[in-house]
Chain A
């Protein structure tokens, strides 16, 4: 069902875990299927220096979080804000149709973390 890239991220997820003193935290949940994703970012000079994630969700949700963290590291906030759900799915080489909503979680959580950083700055 999932391609090799998705399975690789699922098996060896990058940047898993919590972060001490993050600059921003974003948490989103899918009300219906109950899945939750949490993203922590560390920002210096408007650049995302570090990013971590925690996810309760399916294989696609875990792979999306992992792929997103790789895409975002080292990017400016402005660049990071432009990353869409589609970009995450594309980065993974595509997701099965019923699993597209799982990649939404990843981009949404990131955007929320950035917003959190900006409002608390």
Chain B
């Protein structure tokens, strides 16, 4: 049977070059980078080099990079760390309704702890406008946390304009760029961003490692307590092989971005056009301002988990915003925030394309989706009510 992976936004396969770079640090180079002896000096050097690579990929200096256990921790550290670093007594935080739970739930937690929070609504494409941010900022605002690109519907948010407004108002701006690395070029010393989260496994690196960029002079306090690693902002003996992998993955991710965008968006557009040929299918997310590998559609009258299962039987791996896949009984908060009817949100599928996908796979997938939809619609009580 064919095996077609179209879930690169969930995670990516690690590149061979990344694994090669990591292996010595899982074998003979096991020293603790904090140790002064030869073993430690060897790994300290690797740690410094990885930090330089991540910094170079973002256009910043190595001192501004803090390694974390992934995107989740980077978001937690950014939001809680800024909240803890404020000494002025200000206490207002702004975020959006379409953030990943790692950011959204952190802000909500602070809301329960006495901070004032504003969760900005989004338009039909899942986008927050810079004007909305401007209007929401008060003299009590300390932080705006709004993602660079959405993981479900792929919409790219106007993060630079939002950052500029925050800069004008003297408010810190954090952006969750977990889905953006390798798809959007960054040069953070030119861009008005104070904190940025990233995660290696979304760009062909290892799982369980990421980083937070913290612009110099940004006041952030640690949320974990322990040793002095990562300028005390993230104590704990470093996950060195993973960090080395992150460094290598970053180098590869920022090379040839325009070529990669072109290749991926060609596949994406072919898939979108093919899917829209099926009756009663709508594209979710912005038609142009979207990640080059993201396709998110709602297929009316059928439920997402059953679509996903049937495609899985045909060897195609995708994901869905249906409540039935989440175990929570609620469909995707992102699709609902965009104003989708819950029933339409139930029938959503996300295809996220990546390095290994081919035109042949797109065409096979289109045929498979057609078959699956036909089969499931034949069982659907809805389509009859409507005809």
Contact = CB atoms under 8 A, between A and B. Distances in A.
Interface of A: 2, 7, 10-11, 13, 16-18, 27, 30, 32-38, 53-59, 61-62, 98, 102
B194 interface: no
A57 B310 CA distance: 13
Contacts of A7: 313
Contact of B380 (A2, A10, A55): A55
Contacts of B305: 58-59
B382 A56 contact: yes
Chain A binding surface SS class: mixed
Contacts, number: 72
A21 B310 CA distance: 31
Contact of B306 (A17, A53, A57): A57
A58 B381 CA distance: 14
Given A18-B384, A54-B379, A33 B346 contact: yes
A56 to B, nearest CB: 5
A98 B302 CA distance: 20
A25 B278 CA distance: 31
B324 A33 contact: yes
Of B303, B310, B331, B342, which is in contact with the most chain A CB atoms at under 10 Å from its CB? Answer: B303
Interface in B368-387: 378-382, 384
Contact of B309 (A33, A54, A56, A59): A59
A32 B330 contact: yes
A3 to B, nearest CB: 13
A37 B306 CA distance: 14
A59 B381 contact: no
Interface string B287-314: 0000000000000011101100110010
A61 B346 CA distance: 14
